[in-house]
Structure 1
Amino acid sequence: MKKNKLVPVPSFNEAIRFWFKLGWISFGGTLGHIHIMHDFLVDKKKWISSSRFFHALSLCMLLPGPEAQQLAIYIGWQLHGKKGGIIAGVFFILPSMFILLALSCIYVSYGNQQWMNAIFGGLKPAVVAIIFHAVWSVGKKALHTIAHYLFAVLAFSSIFFFNISMPYIILGTIISALILRYFWPSIVYRKSAGQSHKNLNEDDYYINSKTEGGKNFNTRLLLKQTILFLVFWIFPLVLFYLLSKDFTFWKGLILFFTQTALFTIGGSYTVLPYVAQFSVSKFNWLSKSQMVDGFALAETTPGPLIIVVCYVGFMAGFNHFGGSLLMGTAGLLATTFYTFLPSFLFIFIGGPILERTRGSNVISDVLGFVTTAVVGVILNLTFYLGKDVLFPQGLMLNKIDLMALLWIAVSLFLIFKLRLNIVYLILISMLYGLFQYYFI
């Protein structure tokens, strides 16, 4: 990999320290992760230029799975090869996984306590407000034309009214965007936003727009890495077959989260509606109320919001095996492994291929429509979870929870007007829940 010889080679030990620290301090979801990485890697250390950073982010958004983790793997790989990518990707996840494991154990052990119910009573409306804020944030950047709004509405309608699975919505969006671009290019074409991220002097950065993107793709490399991936994928499955008395459950869990990791494009807010829809309605691994609680727990931890799937795995194992913390832990570990393993495969195999897409208007335009579909999906998640928060006794106007409605409004004001950090909103909401329980 040809690098800029005018800039000192980044220290591997310093990179390890940064990736480890990132896993503990990266509150605020994808935007928080991107801000921290850009501030350190681009502005402070000049290890990668801003144009290259945002190009890598746009490439990762094309891939299934969590784009922030994939961005970390990608940059780690560009800086220090595969060992750098592995370190970056693993440290990105481990801290939040262990924190969420501890919170999940506390949740199932003390969740029936009144004070714990009160805390989640304050958190749930805030979670609805946070997800709505995500709709607004993504929508502002993604919805530029009437066609974009139409695709967002179609995506929302498909999943909300017709229960169409997320992979089919994304696939249909990609095909439709390609057809529209061929027959009506004026409807689809938009200038790439990446131009605004170019640096004045790319030579000041170790990795810049002139840097080669890595080894060229070849069939031998694809075969070798695919076989290695399959070995890693199969090994835990074999262990469950040999050691578990209910292999059918574990096989279903592993196949579901593998499918989720491989086929859900668009980041955490694309994956989560899909997981919530199937884990609650089809597999009955947990209740809708427990799913909302999981979002609240995930918001209190660093790392990507997609880490909530680990909580889902915990609850699946815990509930299926009669309240076993050990089986819940096994479910969380299995879910974490199978959700995040494919990200390494996508980067190490797909990275060289995706590097060739730099400057491709087709990729940029199609990605724009995929993002509009994600807006519709996130809006569906808001309605899906918000219904039970506002109407805990059923969808009737006279049964609306006015205190929950009030706190959603307050949370929206704090987020939009005062730009309150999400972590502080979570803490305030927990206190509000306790205040409501003891004094109202």
Structure 2
Amino acid sequence: MLPITLILIGLVLLLLTGMPIFAGLSLAGGVLLLGEPGAIDALSDIIFSKVSMYALVAIPLFAFMAHVMIRGKVVDDLYGTAYTLTRHLPGGVGIATIIACMIFSAICGSSVATALTIGAVAIPQMIRYGYEPKAAYGLVAAGGTLGILLPPSGPMILYGVATDTSISGLFMSGVLPGLLLALLFMLHTAYSQRHGLRQPRASLKETGVAIYRSGWALLLPLLVLGGMYLGIFTATEASAIGALLAIIVAALIYRSIAWRDLWDCALDASRTSAMLFMILGGASVFGYALTNLMIPQQIVKLVLDMQIGPYGFLLAMMAMLFVLGMFLESIAIILITSPIVMPVMIQLGINPIWYGVLLVINLEVALITPPVGMNLFTIKAVTHAPIGQIIQGALPFVLLMIIGMTLVILFPQLALWLPGTMVNK
């Protein structure tokens, strides 16, 4: 156990110096392989075999779909529609914010983009309706985290590639836990704002107009997810279909995006994807080094000797991931830990899809906990509020996420039922 502990501590310290993640992973893996004859010569083949996997095509295509929908302003009416439907409820404006975050997450798959886009619209509105600023900040920061749990999710794609797990199954597994977390957020908001300002219930005409205005933004994720669920296409094919539909909606139906803008969307998607692929390449070097040193096998033996069982292992992993999330980005955590824990999960009979959902929920918690909580700094960039005030507003949602994670641990079918009912799963 001592070698892997020292290796992980060394890697974390290396990344904390500010070194890019891909460079830190490559350097750590390269150093570990220096004493192995022929290992360095094999690195180019190892990296190419990992980054050339067919499933990774989904990352740039889903990113392109999101950029087209955002730049084409197709999602601009989401918040207005959600508010029209919920304004008569206690905490209606906050509940509308969470619903808008859910739908936007199903389009962009990014927590930071969700918090940034929805926060710019929703935070002033919540404060106007009597929310304490810290409550508004915390709600948007937490609502934004749904971006990596509800499909399509970039971290789930990377986890699926790293562990050879069905990406379509992972996407479906995040739906019910994502809705569960959103429900917990809504209940908390309704209770905490029960004495706040409320508006009259929307008329049937207002409701119809609001749904019509945001209809395409609502329909696109339903078509993409529905096609995967029914077995009509795979996750990779779904990303291509989603990108094509986004172009049709934004350029031909809304006519809100020029053909030149599509080029800019492609460039933005390429930059994001290139960064992820570089990290994946570095992680493949690090994972190969660990495998070469028999580290995963040593951990399997240690866990089996300790006889802690599946639930004991899961609790230990959740605690470790919580600590890592305070210092490392979610992509690094996935790619560093997955090659190590996968052999243990196989031995303990832990379903990798179930673990994948728990992993992502833990990463969501990391997004709103200091010192590296990306959504906290996103809200600060939007509002220029003191970071301490934002952290204070996010703390209740950390507890709600831990409750949601506990429920998924106790009731695995929350994550496994929907993937189990898929056609051609």
Q: Same fold (TM over 0.5)?
A: no
Higher RCO structure, 1 or 2 (CA under 8 Å, sep 6+): 1
Q: TM-score, normalised by structure 1?
A: 0.28
Q: TM-score, normalised by structure 2?
A: 0.29
